[in-house]
Amino acid sequence: MNDEPQIELAIQFSNGGRLTAEDLLLIETIRQERSILGAARASGISYRKCWLMVDALNRTFESVVFETHPGRRGGGAEITPFGERLVALYRSMERRSRAAATAALEELDQATDPNYRKRASGAAAAAPKA
């Protein structure tokens, strides 16, 4: 586990589309696996969720992020040149955000309670007590 505070970048576009760290993980996993099913298996995300994320990303932009090739033989998915550019732009924004926020993150980190422990999920906390 990383002991330093982290910034997680999530972009909400004016058309309602989003681009998050989870989307970037999926894009990079599909690049490596060359299929949505392979990416689902490698990332532990359900195939349905992966497919919905691919569809949402392809509809968010005028250019598609993924090209899919359905079918048993030769099927799969690949990242388009626009998808590669999208990854590069996102990673650039991450680096710039971290650099710009370094001093503020250090100050906030120093203000955290060292005895803090994460609580159970909201569902467990809302359950009736015996």
Residue 62 covered by a domain: yes
Residue 118 covered by a domain: no
Q: How many domains does the chain have?
A: 1
Give the CATH number of the domain where residue 50 resides.
Answer: 1.10.10.10
- pLDDT for 35: 92
Question: Which residues are CB-neighbours of 63 under 8 A, at least 6 positions away?
Answer: 80, 82
pTM for the whole structure: 0.78
Q: What's the Cα-to-Cα distance from 93 to each of 7, 70, 98, 105, 127, rounded to whole Å?
A: 11, 33, 9, 17, 40
Question: Which residues are CB-neighbours of 82 under 8 A, at least 6 positions away?
Answer: 61, 63, 64, 65
- pLDDT for 126: 56
Query: For residues 8 and 98, what is the distance between their CA atoms, to the nearest angstrom?
Result: 9
For residue 34, is it left (φ>0), alpha (ψ between -120 and 50) or beta? left
Residue 60 covered by a domain: yes
Residue 80 covered by a domain: yes
Domain that holds residue 46: 19-109
Q: What are phi and psi of 5, to 5 degrees?
A: -65, 150
Residue 71 covered by a domain: yes
- pLDDT for 14: 97
Residue 1 covered by a domain: no
- pLDDT for 75: 66
pLDDT, block means (10 residues), the chain with 130 residues: 81 96 96 93 94 96 93 78 97 94 90 86 58
Q: What spatial distance separates the first Cα and last Cα of the chain, rounded to whole Å? A: 34
- pLDDT for 120: 78
- 40-46 long-range contacts, CB within 8 A, separation 24+: none
- pLDDT for 39: 94
Residue 6 covered by a domain: no
Residue 120 covered by a domain: no
Q: What's the Cα-to-Cα distance from 118 to each of 38, 83, 91, 124, 126, rounded to whole Å?
A: 33, 36, 29, 13, 15
